[in-house]
Structure 1
Amino acid sequence: MTSPVVHLARPHRPVVVAGSLHELTGPEHGPVELPLRLWWGPPRLFDLDDGDELLWMYENVLREAVRVEELRSHLHGPTLARVWSRLNLPRGVRAAWEARHRALTR
């Protein structure tokens, strides 16, 4: 029996992946303030209507999340699918999400 592959967001931190893109019901527009645990630098407020800020916030949440609830409350499934190819992610994060959600590879 083979062990499941564990992808790492960074050393000693496994990637957290939502079971479904539909469960990602975070905001689509406007300002979002990330908790200190997900983003520790000022400013912690991201304007999702600004494309660059949206990408930056998504990259940080995908890299730093340790609980699925963090993904659910900050990411929006259709938006994630739309911007996926433009996100600058660690190899392990991208591999884990694409292994679980084949739609992201299209």
Structure 2
Amino acid sequence: MPSSLRELAGPVHGRVELPLHVAWSGLRSYDLDRPRQRMGLYRIVLTEGQRTDLVAFLDRDLLLAQWPDLRTMISRHIRAVWEEAFPELGRRTSNRT
């Protein structure tokens, strides 16, 4: 886990290819300009990524914007760990109308 969401400085546009240790099965290349592919990349990185992957592939602002929907795509355990470490994610969900 990063110590702060500010550490998440991944790309916000274009194609991203995930390394095999993260995307070991199925799609490895994602277009961040396509919302469904972006959500897929974030789900995989949150689920399978190591700290260096989180920092390299996730962007703070995109994570915050997508969190209300993204949190339903990941396990309860991962969701709880992230929301406990970064309360702004949980607030993002509770402020959603």
TM range (shorter): 0.7 to 0.9
Higher Cα Rg, which structure: 1
What is the distance in 2 between the residues matched to 1:43 and 1:89? 17
User: 2:80 is paired with a residue of what secondary structure?
Assistant: helix
In structure 1, the partner of 2:17 is: 33
DSSP 3-state at the match of 2:82: helix
Instruction: Tell me which amino acid in the other structure corresponds to 1:36.
Output: L
The yes-or-no answer on 1:51 pairing with 2:29 is: no
Greater helix content: 2
Give the Cα–Cα distance (whole angstroms) in 1 for the partners of residues 27 and 83 of structure 2. Answer: 30
Q: Which amino acid aligns with 2:34?
A: D
Q: Which structure carries more strand by proportion?
A: 1
Q: CA deviation at 1:79?
A: 0.5
Please give the root-mean-square deviation of Cα atoms over the aligned residues, in Å.
Answer: 1.0
Flag the 1:65–1:43 CA change in 2: closer, same or farther, 3 A: closer
Query: Is 2:67 the counterpart of 1:84?
Result: yes
Query: Counterparts of 2:49 and 2:27 in 1: how far apart (Å)?
Result: 18
Q: Between the two proteins, what is the percent identity of the paired residues? A: 38
What per-residue deviation string (whole Å, max 9, x for no partner) do you get for residues 25-48 of structure 1?
A: 010011000001100234311000
Give the Cα separation in 2 of the matches to 1:85 and 1:18.
20
For 1:79 and 1:51, how far apart are their aligned partners in 2?
11
2:83 aligns to what?
98
Instruction: State the alpha-carbon separation in 2 of the partners of residues 56 and 41 from structure 1.
Output: 13
Could you tell me how far apart the structure 1 residues matched to 2:90 and 2:27 are?
32
Partner of 1:82, secondary structure, is helix
| 2: CA distance, partners of 1:42 / 1:70 | 18
